[in-house]
Each structure stands twice: as structure tokens, then as C-alpha cells.
């Protein structure tokens, strides 16, 4: 072939071609083609006479250069991938092919170098390599086991968690089947997946098919032991709250109900549908001052704890003991309130009964009162009579009579106290079904005239339904006479005195209320009300309410007093309701006291 043809081929090829003189010092370039000039940006005159290392730069791989140097020294062909720099400084990847041209003795006279710009390929490869590295790192960082299986269900890839789980390297896992590796059914690794147990641990399997073109599936196997334990704990916790004996209600900060439990529904009568979203205290008819106090406490991050009256769905009032605790989110901000409520009406009723019984049974207190009450007038009478015995002979009649009178007044006081105590004996009460409407109308017939004489207006407010209670009629008669007498006393001097008598059924109990608009009592007076021998009346033993309370307790009932100075007093009696039950309430204590039968009772209200 002609040299001209060869030269033209070399000149027009798109790869760079250089020829260096192997015999000249430092192997200078003696020829470079236009493609080399175009590739490197160096004009021919700047290339000829120089060693090709001028293309290298700071990031060129020194080891690759050393291999080239060695090949040149050995006079053999080589191929190297070198990072070179254009004249303008831009780097490019140079795939260099070097071949010696030898003389007749086999010694290299020249080297031919061919440069191929493979930047795109190398960069693409690098990118791929990086993506692979990042994805591998991503999958290896996951705590879940991730597997790739082919269309035949054989393992192609898995992450570090998977290889650590089995304690096997990737090569040992490849081509195995997941069902066989985990010792589970094949079906678990097809379709939607599922859960399985290994020892005490529990795992979930999720299968994700790859696009049809690729075939195969990705499987994610997750250890859900802790999650299972937590959710079962949560389930138990929810069940415990739902079934708790106390009512548990969660509200937002405005008090709107977000969740509630069975006890709340049972206690209040409201269903979840009715109550959710409602304002709790409004729903329960809790007094605004209580609601305000709760708000104050929780706003300051404290737990409210207190006792208040609330209302059931049907309107019945009951006593509630409650705590309201703020619930904080992770950052410490209060976001919810949890109300724990307990209906303590029954407990309070029993406590009231026990208290009344205890008080009356405190004989020491009663006897010391008696000693005092009876001893004083007897001593005075004795003193008067002794003085009289000494002086009767020489005193004028008028003076003698005045001393006799003094002694009689004192003895009259003793007689009065003894009459009162007659009602405090220890015979048993006999409970019977008492239709309150009829009973009270008859009672009012006895007292109306006396009260009207005092200008007191008396009203009886009967309910529409028939109300039947377990009661001893003589005892209840006595109690009511005492209450009416107290009310009349409290109304003395009132321009428009009124007494009202109300009664109604409240669930399984019956309430009878005697109310007056009289002078009422302050807290101190109220506190002393049930102390024997304490009285504010001019004519009174201080035993009336004590005996009344005792009689009510004997009927398994209670007596409670609400009063406000200047506004009046309301005394509420409760008794067991008797319309349905066949026998008197169980556990009725042996009746402690029987009053005089109605026939013997004074015709008008008379205080004790």
C-alpha cells in the first residue's frame, strides 16, 4: 500500500494518533494527526518534540502512568485508561493504546499511540456505579429484610439485614427459595403475603411484584414482635379503660367529649353517639363554679380533684367524685383532659346513715348532756327548796310562794326533757309500704290550722305519679312534725311566711322535702345542727333533729339540710322506694327509736 494512502487514512480517522521516536531522549512526539489536535486542543507545533505526559494533570492515576512507563521500557503494547487535560484545562478520559514499531532486531524504533475519548462511557459507568453503591447502602441501612426473587421464585439479591439474619453470605443465599430459607409455605411469598412466627418472634411478609417486563418480586420481611406486643398491650389498655369501674372521659381543652367508656354511659344514661362532641360539664349539668375551678386548675397544669353534684340524662342529681388531669403531648403542651369520675351518691347516703347512727349511739355524749340538762334544774330546785325549809316558818307567804314557784319552774323543765326523751326509746321500727300522697295530706290536716293561725302559707306539691316508700308511719310522722315545727319557728316575724312540702321518686329512692323561706342558717349553725342538746330555740331540747335523723336512719333513710342565712332552709328526707319490692329493704338496722304513735302525738307541730 502506498504511504500516501496510509497517511491519508491516519489523517482522516476520528481517533487521535501520535507517533513518538523511541530512540530519541524522552520519547518525543514526531507526528500527531488532526483528530489528536482536535481532542486535546493543542496545535501540532505545541505537540511535536514533547513527551505525551504533558496531557496529564493533578488527578491522573499515577499507578496507571507507571504501568505505561513499564510497558514502554519493556518495548511492548499496552492499553491504559488515563485522565488527561485539554489545553483549556477541561479533563477527559483517554483510552490509550500503545504499540511499539520495531527494527529488524526487534528493538522499538517508534511507538504509536491511539487516543480514544471515552469520557461519556466512563462518566456513565461511574454514575451507574454510584447509583448502585447508594442503593446498596440504602437497602443495607433498612432493618427490614429485602429480597429480590426471579420469575421462578429463586433469590437474586438481598440486603445486609437478610444476610445477617441467616448468617450466610450473598453467594450462599443466591438461587435459594425464600419458603425453604424461612421454613414456611410457598404461598406466603406470593400474593399479598402474611405473617409467620419463628420461635418467640413474629414477622410480616409483604410481596411486591416487579413490572411484568422484568418479572420477579421484591419481598420485605419485617420483625413485628415488638409491634405485636405493643398493639396487644394497647388493646388490653383500651379494654381496661372501657371496662373500668370508674367513668373515664377524654375531652379536648374546651371540654368537648372525644371518648368515653362504658361506666360513663351506664352512670349518666347518655349513649356514645349522643355524648361525643358535647361539652362534658354542660351535658352533666355540673355547676358553672365547679367547671370554672376545673379550668383554673388544669390551665395551671395541676390535677383537679373534687366532689360535685351532677345530673343524669333523666335529670336525677347525684354526687360525683372526680379528678381531671391534663394530658401532655411529647413537647409538654397540654392537649387533652382526662376525667375520671365516680358516682358516690350511694356511698354518701350510707355514710350519712352511719353517721346518724353513730352520733345517736354515742351514749357518753348523750348522757353527759342529760346529766347537765337534768342536773342543773334539779340542783336549782333543791337549792330553792332547802332555803325554803330553813326559812318557811318566818317568811311571809308571798316569799314562800315565790320560792315554791322557782322550784316548780325548774322541775317543769325536767319534766319537759323527760317527755322529749320518751320518743328516743329503743323499740324496733316497723317498715311498711306508705303511700306518701295520702300520708302527707292526712298529716297536713293536723297541722294546717295551727300554721294558718301563725299566718304561714302551707303548700303541698304532690307529683303526678303515686309514690310509695318503705317507712314507719309513726316515725315519719314524728320527723315531719319536728321539721314543720322548726320551719314555723324559723318563720317568726317574716312578712310572707311560707312552708312547702314536696315529694317525688328519684330512681330507687323517694325524697320528701320541707322548705321554708325563713331566716335560714349560716355554715356554723349548720355544722352544729346534729349535736345533741344544741338549740337556738327558746323552747327546745336540742334533740329534735338528732332524734329525727336517728329515726330516718332506722328507716334506711337519710336527713339532710340545706340552708342559707336570710333565704330559708330545705330539709330533704330520703326513703327507699317501695312500689315494686316485695319486702322491706334488706340490712335495715334494728329500729333504734319509735316515736309516740300518731294518736299520741301533739295535734299541732310541737318542737322537741
Ligand X SMILES: Cc1cc2nc3c(=O)[nH]c(=O)nc-3n(C[C@H](O)[C@H](O)[C@H](O)COP(=O)(O)O)c2cc1C
Nearest distance from C-beta of residue 114 to ligand X, angstroms: 9
Is 50 or 176 the residue whose CB approaches ligand X more closely? 50
Binding flag, residue 98, ligand X (CB under 6 A): yes
Candidates 111-119, 276-284, 396-404, 468-476: pick the segment binding ligand X (CB under 6 A).
111-119
Nearest distance from C-beta of residue 25 to ligand X, angstroms: 12
Binding flag, residue 100, ligand X (CB under 6 A): no
**CA dist 20 to 29, 99, 133, 246, 509, Å?**
4, 10, 41, 99, 120
Q: Which of 30, 37, 48, 65 binds ligand X (CB under 6 A)?
A: 65
Residue 584 and residue 431 in contact, taking contact as beta carbons nearer than 8 Å: yes
Comparing every residue's Cβ against ligand X, the nearest one is: 113
Q: Which of 33, 78, 84, 569 binds ligand X (CB under 6 A)?
A: 84
Binding flag, residue 116, ligand X (CB under 6 A): no
Residue 154 and residue 179 in contact, taking contact as beta carbons nearer than 8 Å: no
Nearest distance from C-beta of residue 221 to ligand X, angstroms: 51
Alpha carbons 398 and 403: distance in angstroms, whole number = 9
- Helix-then-strand count for the chain, H and E: 20, 22
Alpha carbons 78 and 95: distance in angstroms, whole number = 11
Candidates 53-61, 132-140, 183-191, 553-561: pick the segment binding ligand X (CB under 6 A).
53-61
Residues in the chain: 608
Order the strands of the 257-260 sheet from edge to edge.
257-260, 247-251, 334-343, 317-328, 304-311
Which of the residues 239 through 278 are near ligand X (CB under 6 A)? none
Binding flag, residue 553, ligand X (CB under 6 A): no
Q: Which of 96, 366, 440, 480 binds ligand X (CB under 6 A)?
A: 96
**CA dist 347 to 28, 358, 556, Å?**
112, 16, 13
CB atoms within 10 A of CB 140: 14
Q: Is 568 left (phi over 0), alpha (psi -120 to 50) or beta?
A: left
Is 96 or 545 the residue whose CB approaches ligand X more closely? 96
Q: Which of 8, 13, 44, 51 binds ligand X (CB under 6 A)?
A: 51
Residue 485 and residue 479 in contact, taking contact as beta carbons nearer than 8 Å: no
Strands 108-117 and 91-102 come out as antiparallel
DSSP 591: P
Binding flag, residue 56, ligand X (CB under 6 A): yes
Binding flag, residue 82, ligand X (CB under 6 A): yes
Binding flag, residue 53, ligand X (CB under 6 A): yes
Alpha carbons 178 and 206: distance in angstroms, whole number = 13
Size of the site for ligand X (CB under 6 A): 20
Q: Which of 33, 115, 149, 184 binds ligand X (CB under 6 A)?
A: 115
Residue 282 and residue 294 in contact, taking contact as beta carbons nearer than 8 Å: no
Nearest distance from C-beta of residue 98 to ligand X, angstroms: 6
Binding flag, residue 17, ligand X (CB under 6 A): no
Binding flag, residue 72, ligand X (CB under 6 A): yes
Q: Which residues bind ligand X (CB under 6 A)?
A: 18, 20, 27, 51-53, 55-56, 65, 68-69, 72, 82, 84, 94, 96, 98, 111, 113, 115
Amino acid at each position: 500500500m502506498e504511504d500516501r494512502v496510509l497517511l491519508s487514512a491516519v489523517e482522516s480517522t476520528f481517533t487521535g494518533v501520535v507517533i513518538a521516536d523511541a530512540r530519541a531522549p524522552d520519547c518525543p512526539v514526531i507526528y500527531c494527526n488532526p483528530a489528536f489536535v482536535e481532542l486535546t486542543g493543542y496545535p501540532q507545533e505545541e505537540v511535536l518534540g514533547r513527551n505525551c505526559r504533558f496531557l496529564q494533570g493533578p488527578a491522573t492515576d499515577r499507578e496507571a502512568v507507571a504501568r505505561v512507563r513499564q510497558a514502554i521500557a519493556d518495548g511492548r503494547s499496552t492499553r491504559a485508561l488515563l485522565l488527561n487535560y485539554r489545553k483549556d484545562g477541561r479533563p477527559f478520559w483517554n483510552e490509550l493504546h500503545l504499540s511499539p514499531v520495531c527494527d529488524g532486531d526487534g528493538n522499538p524504533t517508534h511507538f504509536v499511540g491511539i487516543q480514544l475519548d471515552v469520557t461519556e462511557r466512563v462518566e456513565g459507568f461511574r454514575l451507574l456505579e454510584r447509583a448502585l453503591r447508594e442503593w446498596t447502602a440504602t437497602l443495607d441501612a433498612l432493618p427490614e429484610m429485602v429480597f429480590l426473587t426471579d420469575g421462578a421464585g429463586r433469590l437474586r439479591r438481598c440486603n445486609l439485614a437478610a444476610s445477617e439474619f441467616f448468617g450466610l453470605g450473598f453467594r450462599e443465599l443466591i438461587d435459594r427459595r425464600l419458603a425453604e430459607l424461612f421454613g414456611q409455605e410457598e404461598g406466603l411469598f406470593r400474593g399479598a403475603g402474611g405473617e409467620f412466627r419463628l420461635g418467640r418472634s413474629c414477622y410480616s411478609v409483604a410481596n411486591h411484584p416487579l413490572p411484568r417486563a422484568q418479572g420477579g418480586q421484591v419481598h420485605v420481611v419485617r420483625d413485628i414482635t415488638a409491634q405485636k406486643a405493643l398493639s396487644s398491650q394497647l388493646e388490653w389498655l383500651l379494654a381496661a379503660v372501657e371496662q373500668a369501674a370508674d367513668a373515664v372521659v377524654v375531652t379536648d381543652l374546651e371540654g368537648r367529649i372525644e371518648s368515653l367508656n362504658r361506666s360513663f354511659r351506664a352512670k349518666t344514661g347518655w349513649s356514645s353517639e349522643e355524648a361525643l362532641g358535647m361539652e362534658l360539664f354542660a351535658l352533666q349539668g355540673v355547676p358553672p363554679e365547679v367547671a370554672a375551678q376545673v379550668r383554673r386548675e388544669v390551665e395551671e397544669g395541676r390535677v383537679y380533684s373534687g366532689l360535685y353534684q351532677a345530673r343524669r340524662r333523666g335529670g336525677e342529681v347525684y354526687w360525683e367524685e372526680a379528678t381531671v388531669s391534663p394530658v401532655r403531648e411529647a413537647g409538654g403542651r397540654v392537649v387533652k383532659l382526662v376525667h375520671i369520675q365516680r358516682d358516690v351518691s350511694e356511698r354518701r347516703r350510707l355514710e350519712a346513715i352511719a353517721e346518724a347512727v353513730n352520733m345517736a349511739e354515742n351514749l357518753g355524749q348523750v348522757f353527759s348532756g342529760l346529766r347537765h340538762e337534768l342536773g342543773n334544774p334539779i340542783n336549782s330546785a333543791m337549792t330553792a327548796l332547802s332555803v325554803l325549809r330553813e326559812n318557811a316558818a318566818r317568811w311571809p307567804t308571798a316569799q314562800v310562794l315565790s320560792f315554791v314557784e322557782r322550784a316548780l319552774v325548774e322541775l317543769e323543765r325536767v319534766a319537759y326533757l323527760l317527755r322529749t326523751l320518751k320518743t328516743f326509746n329503743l323499740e324496733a321500727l316497723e317498715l311498711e309500704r306508705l303511700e306518701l300522697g295520702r300520708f302527707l295530706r292526712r298529716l297536713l290536716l293536723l297541722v294546717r290550722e295551727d300554721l294558718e293561725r301563725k299566718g304561714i302559707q302551707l303548700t303541698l306539691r304532690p307529683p303526678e305519679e303515686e309514690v310509695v316508700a318503705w317507712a314507719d308511719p309513726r316515725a315519719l310522722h314524728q320527723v315531719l312534725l319536728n321539721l314543720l315545727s322548726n320551719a314555723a319557728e324559723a318563720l317568726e316575724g317574716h312578712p310572707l311566711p311560707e312552708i312547702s312540702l314536696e315529694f317525688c321518686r328519684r330512681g330507687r329512692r323517694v325524697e320528701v322535702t320541707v322548705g321554708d323561706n325563713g331566716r335560714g342558717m349560716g355554715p356554723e349553725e349548720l355544722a352544729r345542727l346534729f349535736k345533741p342538746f344544741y338549740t337556738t330555740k327558746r323552747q327546745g331540747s336540742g334533740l329534735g333533729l338528732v332524734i329525727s335523723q336517728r329515726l330516718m336512719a332506722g328507716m334506711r333513710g337519710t336527713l339532710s339540710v340545706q340552708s342559707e342565712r336570710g333565704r330559708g332552709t330545705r330539709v330533704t328526707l330520703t326513703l327507699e322506694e317501695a312500689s315494686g319490692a316485695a319486702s322491706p329493704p334488706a340490712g335495715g338496722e334494728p329500729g333504734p327509736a319509735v316515736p309516740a304513735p300518731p294518736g299520741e302525738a301533739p295535734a299541732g307541730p310541737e318542737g322537741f
